[in-house]
Chains A and B, each alone.
Chain A
Amino acid sequence: MRALIVDDEDLIRTSLKRVFEMRHHEVFVAENGQQGLEMWQAHDPELVILDMLMPGLTGAQVLKKIGAQTRSKVILISAYTGEYDVKKASELGATLFIAKPFQNIFDVVDRAEKLVENGK
């Protein structure tokens, strides 16, 4: 699959990219909301992992701009667990919400793969 990772934390982008590439997926990375939006429109990925709090455009703003035009599965990730949960994420147009910190990065990628599998 083609996966887009949008997060302003370098280490998170790097580690997620590693695992996806280990599993032979094509990965695009963006380090802020604006860049993420552009790459989303350019590459039409099957999966987008989108951080909530970023400088410039936030995850929620990116989702709003993309609107209904996308068929990508979206996983929202955030450290602000108090404010965002699964319900809120689906209201925003995301398919899944995963709280940071991750307990295990392989689990995260497993869930992403399943999401895309099931959606087919």
Chain B
Amino acid sequence: MKDETAQGLSALIKGKKEILWLGSDDIRVTAMLGSDKNRARFATISQFKKLKISDEISLVVVVPGQLEFDKRAIEKLKRVGAKKILIVSDHAPKESLAEVLAQVSFAKIIFENNLRAELNLAIEETRRGQGPEESDASVPRTKAMVSFIKNLSAALTIQEVLKTLREELRNFQAVKEPLLAFVNAQNELAVMFFQGHQILERKIQEPWPQRPQVRLNDLKDSQYLANIFGRPFAKLLSIPLRLRYLSTEHSLKVGAVLFFEHGLSEIEANDFLQSIEERLEPLGLALDRLLVEQYLKDVSRLWERTFDGLKDPVAIFDADSQILRANRAFAENLIDVRSADLMSDKLRHRDHDYEVQSYPITFGLSARPTNIINHYVDVTISNRLKKQMIQNEKMAALGHLAGNIAHELNNPLTGVRSLAQILITQVKPGTTLSNDLTEVEKASERCQEVIQNLLEFSSGGYEKHQQYISLRAVVQKTLPLIKTLTSRFEVNSDFFSGDDKVFVEPRLLQHVVFNLIKNACESMGDKGLLDIRTKIQVEKMNNYAVLSVRDTGVGIDPIVQKQIFDFFYTTKKEGQGTGLGLSMSKTIVERFGGVIKLESAVGAGSEFQIWLPLGNSGELPS
């Protein structure tokens, strides 16, 4: 008879987790259910009172022996959402139990031989949701769930999600804090775990076991965590999470795993698992949301850093040429430029030249570009280099030309000069003829000097004549040579008397000094003040011997200043200037490692300075 009953119940028991079988001991239940007992959810009354059950049990069958079924048990049954309680008893309940049952309308005492029919009826009843006190039981559970979801959606970090989860599972005292293994927004494998009140994140190397099933006390999981934390993990509950966010770690099938260390029995673990399973979906959603948020934040930060990291100014405009965004270089360099100028092809601002490259882009449904990205390419340096290159080319061409011309001219010039020298000896000194011949001889000598300078300048052979010489000495040696030029002006001179040796070719430097003084004189017309001085200056930790030549002449227009050192540039009348003097001077000074500087204002005169590295260290200036 009992075997039959067991057989008959089989279909009702199978897979029905919502039915909880309670008994005073195993024996009674085993007797009633036979081999089906293993498939049923079973607990003793005393176990049940201690159990933390948070999932749905709609139907409870109580198989009393020495029943300790009391008020506390009933309260707990209400809490877990039981809608019907069937108490199997062939006897009337004891007085104490009757008293308790009187308060619970959904409890029913049935005879054991009616069990199958009653059970069927109760299942139908609970499934239709006609449990007499349905609302009483499910409202707190629903409320708890809503509050859990609320907390999750308010979470701003994954840490907060873990805290919320821990809070939710607080009733399970045998369960430790959750531990989450996941792929973080930086696409790194990571574990997040509690350490005291803190939650820490740590990068890991190996991905977690890629199994989609829930595991209880799995050896591989224990080994996996033991390897990471360097301590044993005895009992583990492993719950794979299905996340939609997987960053780019496509090789992972299981994007995240929740691990719980616990001290639960198998039955308790089942309850715990049921409790957590219905929370997995909101949990997964919250994690997904946070990971995507973090990822977007990172992407946006990366974009911003890239944008700001660009050396050139870049700005994004809307269709009305209003700036929507601009990078740091733009803010630092172009913020005060008129908007009309920002949209032009070329731009010059604060001594920088920009070429503007525009890229129209289209957002949304519009057929026309909705935005324009302007890239302001700073071409200041490249322009300067280009100019320098042109100068160098001119220089090389000049050198080549000078070499050829010099050699072609030297021969006939030697003849002219020699012949003049001979003829002078053959005519009477003091006569017109003698004087004329002397002029011819002098003129051809000057020609030879010019050629010689040009040759030396262009051939670069000056290095072997370079020597340490006092700048003051060079200047003082040059001054008498141009006395005819300077005699018209008041001349102030002040020379540094200490060591001012520079490493130069004296004749070339003399050529430069000569040029500067000659230019100064020519700018002043008939009268003025010529100021010539040398001094020692320190700039950027380097010592320089400086020659300054200042005049009170007409001054130099800023436009002219820009070109004044260019080859063949001259403001003098045709035939009076070659446009070579200053350009050659600049090249010479630069060859000696120096610089030439100009300060001038129209009407206020000009000051040219040459800065030459002080060579008193005895080392060759580079």
Contact = CB atoms under 8 A, between A and B. Distances in A.
Contacts of B418: 11-12, 15-16, 102, 105
B448 A101 contact: yes
A102 B416 CA distance: 11
B621 to A, nearest CB: 25
Residue from B410, B413, B418, B421 with most neighbouring chain A CB atoms (10 Å): B418
Contacts of A70: none
Interface string B383-419: 0000000000000000000000011001111111111
B422 interface: yes
Contacts of B448: 101
A11 B419 contact: yes
Interface residues of B, number: 17
Given A19-B422, A79-B411, A11 B416 contact: yes
B421 A104 contact: yes
Contacts of A16: 418
B419 A15 contact: yes
B311 to A, nearest CB: 46
Contacts of A64: none
B618 interface: no
Interface string A12-39: 1011101100100000000000000000
A9 B411 contact: yes
A15 B413 CA distance: 12
Nearest to B422: A18
B459 interface: yes
A43 interface: no
B411 A15 contact: no
A102 B414 CA distance: 6
A3 to B, nearest CB: 15
A100 interface: yes
A12 B406 CA distance: 16
Contacts of B422: 15, 18-19, 22, 105
Please classify how large the interface on chain A is, using the bins under 10, 10 to 19, 20 to 34, 35 or more.
10 to 19
A80 B407 contact: yes
A119 interface: no
A110 B410 CA distance: 22
B419 A14 contact: yes
B interface, over-half SS: helix
Contacts of B417: 101-102, 105
B425 to A, nearest CB: 8
Given A82-B459, A82-B461, A100 B411 contact: yes
Given A79-B407, A82-B459, A82-B461, A106 B414 contact: no
A19 B416 CA distance: 14
A91 interface: no
A9 B414 contact: yes
A112 B439 CA distance: 28
Nearest to A19: B422
A12 B411 contact: yes
A10 interface: yes
A11 B444 CA distance: 13
Nearest to B407: A79
Interface string B10-54: 000000000000000000000000000000000000000000000
A102 B421 CA distance: 11
Contacts of B461: 82
| Highest count of chain A CB atoms <10 Å: which of B406, B416, B421 | B421
Contact of B412 (A9, A104, A106): A9
Given A82-B459, A82-B461, A101 B410 contact: yes
A18 B411 CA distance: 17
Interface in B73-94: none
Contacts of A10: 415
Contacts of B419: 11, 14-15, 18
A100 B414 contact: yes
Contacts of B421: 15, 104-106
Contacts of A12: 411, 414-415, 418
Given A82-B461, A105-B421, A15 B407 contact: no
B407 A11 contact: no
A69 B278 CA distance: 120
Nearest to B421: A105
Contacts of A106: 421
Given A15-B419, A106-B421, 19 more contacts: A9-B415, A10-B415, A11-B411, A11-B414, A11-B418, A11-B419, A12-B411, A12-B415, A14-B415, A15-B415, A15-B421, A79-B410, A82-B459, A100-B410, A100-B411, A101-B414, A101-B448, A102-B418, A105-B417
16 contacts: A9-B412, A10-B415, A11-B416, A11-B419, A12-B411, A14-B415, A15-B418, A15-B421, A22-B422, A79-B407, A79-B411, A80-B407, A100-B410, A100-B414, A102-B417, A102-B418
Closest 5 CB pairs of A and B: A11-B415, A15-B418, A105-B418, A101-B414, A9-B411
Interface of A: 9-12, 14-16, 18-19, 22, 79-80, 82, 100-102, 104-106
